[in-house]
Amino acid sequence: MSLEKITVDRRKHRREKKKLDKGEHSADLPIVNEIYSSSELLEMAEGKDYECYQLDLLEAFFLVFALNALEISDTSQKVMSISECWSRFAFYYSCRSYHGLESTIDPPFNLFSAHYAAYHYYRSLGWVPKNGAKFGVDFVLYQTGPKFRHADFAVVVLPHRLQDNKDNKDNKDNNHTWKWLLGLNRVCTQVKKTLILCYVTVPANNEATFSKTLLKNYKIQEIILKRWSAEKNR
């Protein structure tokens, strides 16, 4: 039996169960009395494990560094150190597009370091951050996890680097407009999430190599933004 057939049967079982609960079952439609057990699913799938668990770079580094619960190997099957993971993840992470602004391979500062600092901060507070690209943000925060309830907050990470004890005028967050912010806030309101602007102050010349005390030099400030409606606030 194919995986598609198993999925169809399961969906059919759920529909029939709902009809039975409502007393709407038709005698012409068969009822699936049993749901498949794990062993039955494995046998039907011919011993192949179709379930794949994927981690993004931030989740993977947190498991390697903060929890020491994961080992990552390179293409030669050599286990990578924390410093190697940091430098390689920073390279791949910074090559992506950042809020619609093309990031070069040699960015003005390490985007991964700022985003990981925010990720580590929320994980330390007991939240479960997940990728928020679906809603146009960096993270969505769950109290327990996606399986149990919807996310309560949507987080946008805005890196801010200090250089020679002065603000760097070339920061990425300075390129955002009020139009972008209002549009993002409207989207978050429609999906019943509270928007958080997370400003991460990155220390100058302190991010190329990783050390266990590195995160102590980062500063995080949060601004909660809610949509104001003149009609509802008269």
Q: Does residue 166 have an active-site annotation? A: no
Q: Does residue 147 have an active-site annotation? A: no
| Residue 123 and residue 62 in contact, taking contact as beta carbons nearer than 8 Å | yes
d(CA 189, CA 192): 5
| Cβ contacts of 158 within 8 Å, gap of 6 or more | 172, 173, 176, 197, 198, 199, 200
Q: Does residue 150 have an active-site annotation? A: yes
| Residue 154 and residue 196 in contact, taking contact as beta carbons nearer than 8 Å | yes
**The three-state (H, E, C) secondary structure of 10-31, written as one string:** HHHHHHHHHHHHHCCCCCCCCC
Burial class (CB in 10 A: 0-12, 13-18, 19+), 130: middle
| Cβ contacts of 70 within 8 Å, gap of 6 or more | 55, 60, 63, 64
Catalytic annotation, pick one of 119, 121, 142, 199: 142
Task: Determine phi and psi for 225, rounding to 5 degrees.
Answer: -115, 125
Catalytic annotation, pick one of 78, 150, 219, 226: 150
Our CA dihedral for 72, 75, 81, 82, rounded to 10 degrees, sits at -60
| H-helix or E-strand spanning residue 8 | helix 3-22
What is the set of active-site residues?
A: 142, 150, 193
